[in-house]
Each structure stands twice: as C-alpha cells, then as structure tokens.
Amino acid sequence: MKNKKVYLGMTADIMHPGLIRIINEGTKYGDVVVGLLTDAAIASHKRLPYLTYEQRKEVVESIKGVSEVVAQEEWSYVNNLRKLRPDYIIHGDDWVSGPLQKIREDVFSVMREIGGEVIEIPYTQGINSTSLDKDIKAIGTTPDVRLKSLRRLINAKPVVRILEAHDGLCGLIIENLELYDDSGRKEFDGMWSSSLTDSTSKGKPDIEAVDLTTRLQDLNNILECTTKPIIFDGDTGGKTEHFAFTVRTLERHGISAVIIEDKIGLKKNSLFGTDVLQCQDTIEGFTEKIKVGKSSQVTDDFMIIARIESLIAGKPVSDALERGYAYVEAGADGIMIHSKDKSGDDIREFCTEFRKRYTHIPIVVVPTTYDHIYEKQLVEWGANIVIYANHLLRAAYPAMRKVASKILKYERALEVREDCLPIKEILELIPGTK
Ligand code: SPV
Ligand code: MG
C-alpha cells in the first residue's frame, strides 16, 4: 500500500530544533513533503529570507525524514493542498490565534474538502523563525548578500519600495519601520543614496560637487547600521573612463545598483526642468558609458540602471522611449524614467509603451511631483521600483528650523520640548547607548 502523504509548509531560512521536531513528527504519519515557501511567498508577509530558495531547498532536501521538497508559491497553503492532496498537514499550534488564524481556517476547510486531517503540535517556545529573525539582523550582513538582495526583491515583490537615506539615522528608520494593516505587513525594501540630499545635507549644491569619496564616507555610516539594499544615485556617472572605477567601488561596498542619468556638462537637479540649462548626452555617448560600466563590473548581480532625462528636458515620450530601448540594448539592467510633470500622465504613457517591448526589464520611477499616484497604480503601469527620493531630508529640515526659531524667540528651550524626542527616548534609540 502506498504510504500516506504528510505536508509541512516552511521557510527554513534558519534551521532550528523546532523544525526538526515537526519533521520527525511528520515521519510518524507518512512520507514528509515539505512545501518550501518561495521568496515571493515570503516577501508578501515577512522580510526576504537570508538564504535564496535554491540554498534553502538544498538544506531541507538533505534533512533525514524529508521525502520531497516542493515550492509553495503563495503565503496561503490552499493551492498546494488542493494540488498535492496530502493525507495530513502538520503545523505548530501558534496559528490558533494571531495573524496566522485565517491561514489556519483556510487549511482546515481545504483538508475537509480533500478528506485529509490537520495535526497541530505544540509550538516550540523560544525558538522560532521570528525570534531568530531578530538575531540574524543583529549579526548584520555581508556586502555580497546585501548586493544580491535588490535583484531578489525585484523578483519577489510586485513593488520594491525605496526611501532616501542621507545618514545612519535615516538608515535605521528604513531598516526597522514596519506597519501592519489589512493588506499585511509593510516596510521599506531599501535605501536611495540621493545626490540631492547628500549634497544638501553637506550645505553643497546638487551639481556633482560632492565627490564619490566624500559620499561614500557618509554611505559607510548607513552600511554600518543597516542590512537592506542601497541604490546609489550616480548623477551623470562622470567621465566614461571614471565610471568604470565608480562601478567597482560601489560593488565592493555591497551597493546593489547605480543609476546614471543621460546628461552631460554641469549637472543641475532634474526638478529644475527647463528652468536651467540641462544638456542631454547623445544616445551613442550614453550607451558607450553603459557598456563600459557593464564590462567593468565584477559580480553578476550589480545593476546599472539608465536614467532617461528626455521628459525633464521637455522632449516627448517618443524620445524617451527611443533612448530607453537603446540603453537596454546596450546592456542596462533597468531603466529609470524621470519627470517633473505633476500629472503622472507622461510616466504612465512611457511605462505602458515600454512594457509592450520589454516585459521584464525593471522600470524605476520617482514620484516626487506626481505624488498623488499610489504605488498600486505605478505597478499597474509597469513600474517595479518606486523611489521616494528626498522625503526624509525634506521632513527633517523644517522640523529642525522650527525648533531653532522657537529657541531664538523664547530664549529658552521649554517651548520646544514637545517638538523634540524625549531625552529618555534618544538615550534608548540606539542599542548599547546605556
Ligand atoms: C536625487 O534624489 O538626487 C535625484 C532625483 O537624482 S531628483 O532630485 O528628482 O533629480
Ligand atoms: Mg540626483
């Protein structure tokens, strides 16, 4: 007689005795089939696992008692259970209450439908993926793991949400902030190292006057206290010959991507649009820069993203598309389309057209002026990465100015007490301060 089939769903990022116990329990009932959650399934509800799917699969396949590993492509068990029709599913009893309750209800109903049984075993207190998740964060990351994580996120999530960071504190907000609502868990996926905010925070104009070495010093503070991926604003990329070195330097630091814009001459911030002289490079000139960059990178995972400034320069969407196609053909790993138009119409038109030709090349958008458009809409148009390019600095400056003016006005600090983080909280903000 055929053995009974036992289904176990797991992430298996970190092996711990709780998982081994559940597998051992499973073997008592039949052949254990592990439904290993893919990156995409996990990213919909939790941070991306440390190990890739293939790495986790290799580990789980080698565990005694595991007969087979199959991919579970969704957070919900339902589709796999219907497909595999196991006799049993085993799960820790931690799902009886809390956020997994709905998952449990669905599992019970499918198992009833297919005539199987749900077995709940006592949850292993103290050792579970969530508590280990915190420990692994404390260990930090390596440049290699961080660098790779952006491509993994693009593949795993409908939208990769990036926020500007110009110092370690911004980095910590982006690293740690999470929000739960009806749609599940939300977080920022990574950081944008912006030329505008990097320059402004140093009291310098955004004209490539702050050199790479200086920008890397501050970026290093962010790297020290975070693990999420970083996209570096490379301005024009500088001279083509210099860009080759920039790429290697960024890679060595574990930066995931550089975005360079197709402008030449003295760079001015794009949001000036045609109010200042902005000179676009020729297609030939810029594709050459992309090619040189691509041939100088050491890893396979680093991304060079080409930023199209046609709309900023007042040119039509057709010009932007022509450039986009040429940049992709030259080897760009993604396209950033920028605009200062408030409607978002030109971005929608570009994305929709571009997607007809290239279904998978990542599109990056920066909704600074068209800020009424929701991420969901941007994704529907075809965007993969949304960068909130300057918001933390724009938030900090008025808050600091307000406090400074009030102290001047009242000639004491009592009136700003409410505007400031309480002393107790600032002392507790960074672990290890006490
Ligand atoms: C930056 O953040 O520096 C950018 C985006 O390049 S923008 O300021 O809109 O040009
Ligand atoms: Mg910039």
> How many angstroms separate the alpha carbon of residue 393 from the centre of ligand 2?
14
Q: Where are the alpha helices (DSSP H) in 264-416?
A: 283-296, 317-329, 345-357, 375-381, 391-410
CB atoms under 10 Å from CB of 420, counted, come to: 12
- Contact between 39 and 49 (Cβ < 8 Å): yes
User: Hey, which of 233, 271, 274 would you mutate to test ligand 1's pocket, going by the most ligand atoms within 8 Å of its Cβ?
Assistant: 233
The residues near 219 (Cβ < 8 Å, ≥ 6 apart) are 193, 230, 232, 253, 255
Position in ligand 1 atom list of the atom nearest CA 270: 10
**Residue 434 located in a structural domain:** no
For residues 325 and 241, state if they share a domain: yes
Ligand nearest to the CA of 207: 2
Question: How many whole angstroms from 256 Cα to the centroid of ligand 1?
Answer: 18
Q: pLDDT tens digits, residue range 236-261?
A: 999 999 999 999 999 999 999 999 99
Token reading at 165:
């960071």
Cα 350 to ligand 2 centroid, rounded to whole Å: 21
Residue-wise pLDDT tens digits, 305-327 = 999 999 999 999 999 999 999 99
Please check whether residues 222 and 91 belong to one and the same domain.
no
Any idea which ligand is nearest the CA of 387? 1
**Structure tokens that stand for 369 in this block:** 């002026």
Which one from 206, 233, 281, 346 is the annotated catalytic residue? 206
Q: Is residue 109 part of a domain?
A: yes
Both 406 and 278 in one domain: the answer is no
CA dist., res. 200 & res. 374, Å (int): 27
Which CATH number do you get for residue 68?
3.40.50.620
What CATH number does the domain containing 321 carry?
A: 3.20.20.60
| Chain position carrying tokens 């057709």 | 318
Tell me, using a 6 A CB cutoff, whether residue 194 lines ligand 1.
yes
Same domain, residue pair 63 and 33: yes
Q: Are 217 and 256 members of one domain?
A: yes
Residue 337 within any structural domain of the chain? yes
Test site for ligand 1: of 269, 278, 386, 392, most ligand atoms within 8 A of the Cβ: 269
Q: What are the phi and psi torsion angles at 6 (to 5°)?
A: -120, 125
The reply to whether 204 and 337 lie within a common domain is yes
Strands 363-365, 184-187: pairing kind: unpaired
Give the residue from 359, 374, 389 where a domain finishes. 389
Of 104, 131, 158, which residue is a domain's last?
131
| 131, 160, 190 - which closes a domain | 131
Q: Which ligand is nearest to the CA of 307?
A: 1
Domain that includes residue 72, residue range:
5-131
Does the beta carbon of 195 lie inside 6 Å of ligand 1?
A: yes
Burial of 127 (0-12, 13-18, 19+ CB in 10 A): middle
Q: Is 296 helix (H, G, I), strand (E, B) or coil?
A: helix
The domain total for the chain is: 3
Please indicate whether residue 364, judged by its CB atom, sits closer than 6 Å to ligand 1.
Answer: no
Question: What is the distance of C-alpha 376 from the center of its chain?
Answer: 16
Is 206 considered catalytic here? Answer: yes
Identify which of 269, 256, 239 has the alpha carbon closest to the alpha carbon of residue 366.
269
In a domain, 192, yes or no: yes
304 and 192 within one domain? yes
Q: In terms of domains, do 358 and 402 share one?
A: no
Protein residues with C-beta less than 5 angstroms from the ion ligand 2: 195, 233
Cα 179 to Cα 46, 174, 176: the distances in Å are 11, 12, 10
> Does residue 371 sit in the same domain as residue 411?
no
Distance, in Å, from the CA atom of 116 to the CA atom of 142, rounded to the nearest integer, reads 44
Query: Are 125 and 209 contained in the same domain?
Result: no
Q: For ligand 1, atom 5, which residue shows the shortest CA distance? A: 389
- 113/49 same-domain check: yes
pTM of structure:
0.90
Quickly count helices (H) and strands (E) in the chain: 17, 17
In a domain, 289, yes or no: yes
Report residue 14 as tokens.
Answer: 């970190």
Does residue 31 sit in the same domain as residue 168?
Answer: no
Measured distance CA(220)–CA(202) in Å, rounded = 15
Q: pLDDT by residue for the chain (434 residues), tens digit each?
A: 678 999 999 999 988 888 898 999 999 999 999 999 999 999 888 888 888 999 999 999 999 999 999 999 999 999 999 999 999 999 988 888 887 888 999 999 999 999 999 999 887 666 566 666 666 666 678 999 999 999 999 999 999 999 999 999 999 999 999 998 877 789 999 999 999 999 999 999 999 999 999 999 999 999 999 999 999 999 999 999 999 999 999 999 999 999 999 999 888 898 998 888 889 999 999 999 999 999 999 999 999 999 999 999 999 999 999 999 999 999 999 999 999 999 999 999 999 999 999 999 999 999 999 999 999 999 999 999 999 999 999 999 999 999 999 999 999 999 999 999 999 999 988 888 88
| Beta pairing partners, 7 | 33, 89
Instruction: Give dist(CA 242, CA 169) in Å, integer.
Output: 31
Residue 317 carries which side chain, given as an amino acid letter?
V
The pLDDT of residue 126:
62
